[in-house]
Amino acid sequence: MTFEILSTPVNSPASLIFQQCLAEVDPENRSLNSAMNEVGGYFLDKTETSPLSRELWDKVLNQTNKGKSVSQTNDEHDPLLSQLPFTLRAHLKNKDIKWKSFKDVKVASIVPKDNNEKLELIHVMPGAKIPQHTHEGNESFLVLHGSYSDEYGNYKQGSVQVRSDDHNHTPVGDAQTGCIGLAYTHGKIKFSGKFGKLLNLIAN
């Protein structure tokens, strides 16, 4: 499953962040991802050239006068953030994480919802049980910290689970560590109208 996700081209910020976090959580994933990136770099090097417009260099040069920005993350203020992958910390710096609490579970949106897609950070407190539920659309869930269990198994840090909207389960956060995970959800596209039935068959 990891190979499938890492080698599927992404086209949105939400799916990009999810993919990079998956690449980061495990050294094996990371080296596989590096190999994929090297292939991209190889072809960039070999690709033909397209002439640039004359003024582009001046525009680029102009930007350099704005000086260097100092890059830092804000994890020293939030112990939770320090446990997240670098990708997420970099993305979240200078942003307030707005947690929504549902009893023992906290949920925060990571990128604005767009095109039936969402990316959320989910924090399940130690021992907390999430009521039985299905998912709207397809959900990929990556365990970033701690672990959780459901009727089907126990999922540790670095593991990823993909569930479709008919999947029914009751997750419980690990009694000691709880669980922090990243959930990437993309809804199924539903077509309506004259050719709707046919399009739904193709799309799903």
Partner 1 sequence: MAKVKNPFVEALQNIAERQDIGSFKKIFDYFGPRLKSFLMKSGADEAVAEEIIQETMSIIWTKADYYDPSVASPSTWIYTIARNKKIDILRKTRKAVLEDIETAILPPVESKADENIEHDQKFEMVAQYLDDLPKDQLDLLKMNFFEEKSHGEIAEITKIPLGTVKSRIRLALEKIRGKLEQDGSMVNLNNDSGSMVN
Task: Kindly list the residues in this chain that would bind partner 1 in the complex (CB under 8 A).
Answer: 3-4, 7-13, 16-17, 20, 23-24, 31-45, 47-53, 56-57, 59-61, 63-64, 68-69, 71, 86-87, 90-91, 93-95, 111-112, 114-115
CB of 134 to partner 1, least distance (A): 25
Long-range contacts of 82-91 (CB under 8 A, 24+ apart): 83/144, 83/145, 83/180, 84/121, 84/144, 84/145, 84/180, 85/20, 85/21, 85/24, 85/25, 85/144, 86/24, 87/17, 87/20, 87/21, 87/24, 88/17, 88/21, 88/121, 88/144, 88/182, 91/17
Q: Tell me how far, at minimum, the Cβ of 158 lies from partner 1, in Å.
A: 17
Q: Which is nearer to partner 1, 111 or 128 (CB)?
A: 111
86 vs 195, which CB is nearer to partner 1?
86
Pick the closer one to partner 1 by CB: 17 or 128. 17
Q: Among residues 86 and 152, whose Cβ is nearest to partner 1?
A: 86
